[in-house]
Amino acid sequence: MRTVIDLIAFLRERKRAIAQMRHLDTQEIADGIYAVRSKGANFFIVKVGVEGYIAIDAGGGNENLIAAELKKLSIKPEKITAVFLTHTDFDHIAALGLFKAATIYLPEQEVQMIDGTSLRLPHMGESRFNHNKLGYSYTTVADGEELRFKDVAVRCILTPGHTEGSASYLVNSTYLFVGDNLSLREGKVDLFNSVFNASDDVQRQSLHDLARIQGAQYIFTAHYGFSDDYQAAFEDFM
């Protein structure tokens, strides 16, 4: 009975949380930085060199929907050579099959979420919400590890809380892509919706860590748009 009650409460809070989210339309936000709108989430593409791209996450919904959004940007899926996943929830992996030329990078701490070691939502116990399935081969990336793609450097920053292995990615020391590791409310960084977090307390500490990054300018989220004033956005966590 307790499990049923918990599930009903979760579904109600989930509906309220989704209603709060604000997603970006597909567009170029900054020079060589593109937001892609998918079902229930944004993901982002970064231009590499003259013709290449990398993606941060891979959106929700289905491949046909995402292919249509990419067409608006004149970006061919085969030109995306790497995808960096912030975590493995279903609304962040939908286009992986579309990016056939891409290497998939996964935070090494997130492996526990797809191999059954850890529950996605510990407070829910064993339920269908606690099983993330990736279904693709991947390469793990460690906290603090930096990978370079021509003129683009991507640094992995472990930011647990949403999931135990969630990460954010800092691109060229300027652009921070956080997935679901925070929300932006009236321009200010806040926790992501508690109903989806494995641990608010752990995420709060991750946000304090992100607030100490020097020189970053932009913050890009999967569900709450973006900010181009990093310092002002993180003011409450400094």
**For 27-78, what is each residue's pLDDT tens digit?**
999 999 999 999 999 999 999 998 899 999 999 999 999 999 999 999 999 9
Burial of 147 (0-12, 13-18, 19+ CB in 10 A): middle
Quick check: pTM over 0.85? Answer: yes
For residue 101, the SS3 value is coil
Res 131: pLDDT: 57
**For 176-218, what is each residue's pLDDT tens digit?**
999 999 999 999 999 999 999 999 999 999 999 999 999 999 9
What's the CATH code, domain 2-237?
A: 3.60.15.10
